[in-house]
Amino acid sequence: MQQGSILAVEGERESGDAVRKNNITAVMSIANTVKTSLGPEGLDKMLVDELGDVTITNDGATILKLLEVEHPAAKVLVELAELQDQEIGDGTTSVVILAAELLKNASELVKCKIHPTTIISGYRLACQEACKYINEHLSLPVEELGRECLVNAAVTSMHSKIIADDALFFADMAVEAVLSVKRTNSKDQVKYPVSAINVLKSHGKRAKDSLLVKGYALNCTIASEAMPHVVKDAKIACIDFNLQKQKMAFGVQVLVNEPEELEKIRQREIEMTTEKLKLIVSSGANVLLTTKGIDDLYLKYLNKEGIMAVRRCTKEDLKRIARITGAELLSSLADLDGNEKFDAHMLGHAEEVAQEWVGDNQLILIKGSKAHPSSSIILRGANDFMCDEMERSVHDALCVVKRVLESGMISPGGGAVEAGVSVYLEKLASRLESRNQLAVAEFARSLTVIPKTLAVNAAKDAIDLLAKLRAFHHLSQTDNSKLHLKWTGLDLAAGVTRDNVEAGVLEPTIGKVKCFKFATEAAISILRIDEHVRLQPENKKDPHSYQEAYRTGQLVYRILFSHHISPGLVDVCGVVMNYNEASPNALDSQKDDFVKTLSAQKHLRLMALSLSASVPLLLEGPMGCGKTSLVASLARATGNYPQLLKIHLCEQTDVKALLGTYVCTDVPGQFRWQPGVLTQAVLAGQWLLVEDISMAPMDVLSILSTLLERRELHISERGEVLKASNGFQLFATQSTQTGLRFQQETTFLDNLWTKIYIPPIVGEEVAEILKERHPKLAPFVGKLMLVYQEFCCFTKSTENSRTYHARDFFKWCSRIEQFAHDGAVDTTCVSFSLVKEFTYVEALDVFCAAIPDRSYRRRISNRLGELLELLPHRIEYFLDIYKPQVEVYGKNFTFDIGLYVSL
């Protein structure tokens, strides 16, 4: 049962500072990802998704959307960025950075024992004051500045984007486009729906060749080349039904007695739609747009009538076209009398509808629509990535212009607002008497992150610039005659401060205010969390629980089978498997020195389970974690060891080595087929262990893929397809770097393997294995491990060292034991000190001998000596003077050098 007052839940609990720290770390990592893309000099990110699609962007919202964020707190932040994107369409990066900075500074306060609730109320207060201050002091009405300010705001938003060079050009375009879709809604509010601006992309030409079309650009082509390409004074019919042969509804069957009847019915089917078309044509329509298809049959008719028809337009497009031209989008021609009718008033009107070439594509342009004005932007760029990024940038600019127009207020950019508010809040904080003071001051400090990051990204001296900026703002707030200084912001190109209103670096005020509000809200909602309960997925129950053991069958076999298991079966860690009696030497299996530690048992059980299903197995794990030994042990246990074939793959591995090749025989000119390892294993039904599968070249992998998928081996040289015999089993190993769960680069075979992850062998299990294998070393295990661990720590801290694994340690130990075995020293009764020097020599051989860099080798050899508590002069001796003993004996001049290891 539970101990103390720890609440047991099906999962993990984390509370207090731990969870806060965790959340803040997660948030910070998100913010750090986007930090470098803030501002005009911000850099881009290239994101590759799992399908291999590439996105290059510096738009915060896009980056975050494409990142697969898992941490819940980080998700809050991503949602926040999306929200800012929806509401404002710009400033997504700054909102994330600001929120993260607020949290970071809050965590500093929490460390100083200030209760989170105090910080929260302080932040709320600061945010309110900041917004008030911006609205009252740091904003300008648009009317004062006119159209130029709209252009400037758009330019500011595009400064950081890919199209910064042509910002003015695009800004003009954006302003024009937004102004053209102005409309007034039922509540007499003037709205500029950005969605009504159609943005099309077409790669080719330069960015500067992008154009704004007064009218609607439709990304479709006319249905037939024989139709007119240009129609002046167009009367447009928009329909939402199929112009195909009329089919009877489901449940209506056509049954005819006479063959002529059949023809008549076919004829009628065709005519019914023709009649509909005639209705439309007779109303005077000369352009026909439909969301569905048009049969070739009717295209002919339309051609004859000289009507321009476009099929498969999207419904969204047609709805807009219907709106701007005043047409009615019809889903049926039925009228209220039960007949079909098409009136002229259902037609829309435009001055011209024309199909034009834009780059490689043809577009339908509807110009001079009668009911409402409209505009489309066609973006041109060198490649698709560029076009995509341009679209996002233009979208941001459009949103900015819309916000400026709708809210009517603008503020200077370039960190001016943040610096101003920061200075103001700091003054406010010093006037507060409550504990809120600290939180407000932190809020003020957090705001400086924006100008700071801007400067850092532009490779300018952030500290210097920030100091200047703050000085100016302080002056403007204290000295009334210097009021104009409040517009001071950063000029990131030149690395100086300047009046950003004059320079035309402008942003919509509402964007800034919302950015502050959203960032504060997010920071608060993350700060409020003081406990995180992670419930375990239901299928992942505790592996040691009774229910789980019962479910996996482990328990059953333990209780009932271990006694009366038949000789043909064997119990591998709780899974009953066939024992391969047929294999040669099956019964006198070699001595298995594999030590079944608890985790090894777990892995063996997993492997045995997958083996019973004869699926191919891939063992993943860092070097030296015992992947090969596990397979060997399993093979021994099931009597397959004598037949276990092993092959190491490397980049140079040839398919021939695996499949086989023709070799010369003694008779000149005669060739014999020499099967390779893989072929042998497949034919004989043996076990095959392929090591380092990740190193294999493509052609080897492709051979393996058919084997994995269908248990078939294709030998192209002989044109043979071999079926794998019963008992054939494929294992593979793959090394991952220590600390990484899975290797990043994955091969296409990945899905075909059943993967088992083998973690590195750790502490106690190392000792357990050692004691089992080398009982003589048992008294020293503790000491040896200590030395080894210290040594690992030491080498890890130095540069250019290789990492050492448990395998090296085992090698060392086995050499020590070997040496003890030879009887040189009786390890059981003498003190460790006598063995030390021999141990040191072995350690030098195992750990240091392979290091090419002399000085470095010397360094770590010295350290090793220190760890083994050798006297300095003895270390010197072993490094410089000591030579291994050479013994020559016998007639054949057999000689041993150093320690002779019998294998």
For the annotated catalytic residues, the residue numbers are 59, 92-93, 396
Q: Does 335 bind another protein (CB under 8 A)?
A: yes
Q: Is the Cβ of residue 98 or residue 841 nearer to another protein in the bound state?
A: 98
**Alpha-carbon distance 330 to 326, whole Å?**
12
Query: Token match 């959340």: residue?
Result: 23
List the structure tokens of 556.
Answer: 């059953």
Q: Is the Cβ of residue 76 or residue 99 nearer to another protein in the bound state?
A: 76
Q: Does 185 bind another protein (CB under 8 A)?
A: no
The stretch near another protein (CB under 8 A) out of 11-19, 284-292, 305-313, 347-355 is 11-19
Q: Select from 369, 356, 342, 326 the least CA-distant residue to 233.
A: 369
Q: Taking CB under 8 A as the criterion, which residues in 680-709 touch another protein?
A: none
Helix, strand, or coil (residue 183): strand
- Least separation in angstroms between residue 202's CB and another protein is 29
Q: Are 166 and 367 in contact (CB under 8 A)?
A: no
Secondary element (H or E) of residue 412? strand 409-412
Q: Is the Cβ of residue 127 or residue 142 nearer to another protein in the bound state?
A: 127
Q: Taking CB under 8 A as the criterion, which residues in 13-72 touch another protein?
A: 13, 15, 19, 23, 72
Q: Is the Cβ of residue 195 or residue 800 nearer to another protein in the bound state?
A: 195
- Least separation in angstroms between residue 289's CB and another protein is 15
Q: Does 189 bind another protein (CB under 8 A)?
A: no
Residues written for the chain: 903
Q: Name the phi and psi angles at 479, rounded to 5.
A: -110, 115
Q: Are 200 and 217 in contact (CB under 8 A)?
A: yes
Q: Select from 729, 731, 755 the least CA-distant residue to 743.
A: 755
Q: Taking CB under 8 A as the criterion, which residues in 213-242 touch another protein?
A: 240-241
The stretch near another protein (CB under 8 A) out of 75-83, 298-306, 658-666, 832-840 is 75-83
Q: Taking CB under 8 A as the criterion, which residues in 81-120 touch another protein?
A: 83, 87, 114-118
- Least separation in angstroms between residue 518's CB and another protein is 8
Count residues binding another protein (CB under 8 A): 78
The stretch near another protein (CB under 8 A) out of 55-63, 201-209, 396-404, 543-551 is 543-551
List the structure tokens of 94.
Answer: 């700054």
Q: Does 829 bind another protein (CB under 8 A)?
A: no
Rule CB under 8 A: choose which of 464, 531, 581, 896 binds another protein: 531
Q: Name the phi and psi angles at 515, rounded to 5.
A: -60, -45
- Least separation in angstroms between residue 5's CB and another protein is 5
Q: Select from 172, 180, 219 the least CA-distant residue to 197.
A: 180
Q: Does 530 bind another protein (CB under 8 A)?
A: yes
- Least separation in angstroms between residue 896's CB and another protein is 55
**Alpha-carbon distance 352 to 357, whole Å?**
15
List the structure tokens of 886.
Answer: 């050479």
Q: Does 1 bind another protein (CB under 8 A)?
A: yes
- Least separation in angstroms between residue 51's CB and another protein is 22
**Alpha-carbon distance 569 to 638, whole Å?**
8
Is 356 buried (19+), middle (13-18) or exposed (0-12) by CB count in 10 A?
Answer: middle
Q: Is the Cβ of residue 251 or residue 739 nearer to another protein in the bound state?
A: 251
Q: Does 344 bind another protein (CB under 8 A)?
A: no
**Alpha-carbon distance 294 to 244, whole Å?**
6
Q: Are 404 and 156 in contact (CB under 8 A)?
A: no
Q: Name the phi and psi angles at 134, rounded to 5.
A: -60, -50
- Least separation in angstroms between residue 124's CB and another protein is 7
Q: Select from 436, 450, 441 the least CA-distant residue to 423.
A: 441
Q: x/- site string to another protein, residues 583 to 622, per CB under 8 A?
A: ----------------------------------------
Q: What is the 3-state secondary structure (H, E, C) of 193-212?
A: CHHHCEEEEEEECCHHHCEE
Q: Taking CB under 8 A as the criterion, which residues in 850-869 touch another protein?
A: none
Q: Taking CB under 8 A as the criterion, which residues in 346-405 touch another protein?
A: none
- Please list, in sequence order, all residues whose beta carbon lies within 8 angstroms of the beta carbon of residue 623, skipping any fewer than 6 positions away: 735, 738, 803, 805, 807
Q: Select from 741, 688, 695 the least CA-distant residue to 713.
A: 688
**Alpha-carbon distance 830 to 175, whole Å?**
91
Q: Does 9 bind another protein (CB under 8 A)?
A: yes
Q: Does 464 bind another protein (CB under 8 A)?
A: no
Is 665 buried (19+), middle (13-18) or exposed (0-12) by CB count in 10 A?
Answer: exposed
Burial 156-167 (b: 16+ CB within 10 A, else e): bbbbbbbbeebb
Rule CB under 8 A: choose which of 48, 344, 494, 560 binds another protein: 560
Q: Is the Cβ of residue 380 or residue 402 nearer to another protein in the bound state?
A: 402
Q: Does 790 bind another protein (CB under 8 A)?
A: no
- Least separation in angstroms between residue 62's CB and another protein is 19
Rule CB under 8 A: choose which of 4, 568, 669, 763 binds another protein: 4
Q: Does 581 bind another protein (CB under 8 A)?
A: no
The stretch near another protein (CB under 8 A) out of 97-105, 333-341, 750-758, 891-899 is 333-341
Q: x/- site string to another protein, residues 416 to 435, per CB under 8 A?
A: -------------------x
Q: What is the 3-state secondary structure (H, E, C) of 757-811?
A: ECCCCCHHHHHHHHHHHCHHHHHHHHHHHHHHHHHHHHHHHCCCCCCCCHHHHHH
Q: Are 369 and 350 in contact (CB under 8 A)?
A: yes
Q: Are 81 and 95 in contact (CB under 8 A)?
A: yes
Q: Taking CB under 8 A as the criterion, which residues in 247-306 touch another protein?
A: 248-257, 261, 264-265, 267-269, 272
- Least separation in angstroms between residue 342's CB and another protein is 13
Q: Does 763 bind another protein (CB under 8 A)?
A: no
Q: Are 98 and 449 in contact (CB under 8 A)?
A: yes
The stretch near another protein (CB under 8 A) out of 73-81, 467-475, 664-672, 769-777 is 73-81
**Alpha-carbon distance 310 to 322, whole Å?**
14
- Least separation in angstroms between residue 723's CB and another protein is 34
Q: Is the Cβ of residue 275 or residue 479 nearer to another protein in the bound state?
A: 275
Angle, CA of 128, 129 and 132, to the nearest 5°: 90
Q: Taking CB under 8 A as the criterion, which residues in 481-510 touch another protein?
A: none
- Least separation in angstroms between residue 336's CB and another protein is 6
Rule CB under 8 A: choose which of 32, 282, 547, 803 binds another protein: 547
Q: Is the Cβ of residue 43 or residue 254 nearer to another protein in the bound state?
A: 254
Q: Is the Cβ of residue 14 or residue 305 nearer to another protein in the bound state?
A: 14
Q: Is the Cβ of residue 383 or residue 612 nearer to another protein in the bound state?
A: 612
Q: Is the Cβ of residue 333 or residue 899 nearer to another protein in the bound state?
A: 333
Q: Is the Cβ of residue 386 or residue 527 nearer to another protein in the bound state?
A: 527
Q: Is the Cβ of residue 19 or residue 164 nearer to another protein in the bound state?
A: 19
Q: Does 5 bind another protein (CB under 8 A)?
A: yes
- Please list, in sequence order, all residues whose beta carbon lies within 8 angstroms of the beta carbon of residue 82, skipping any fewer than 6 positions away: 61, 64, 65
Rule CB under 8 A: choose which of 232, 427, 484, 528 binds another protein: 528
Q: Does 537 bind another protein (CB under 8 A)?
A: yes
Q: Does 556 bind another protein (CB under 8 A)?
A: yes
Using alpha carbons only, how large is the chain's radius of gyration in Å? 39
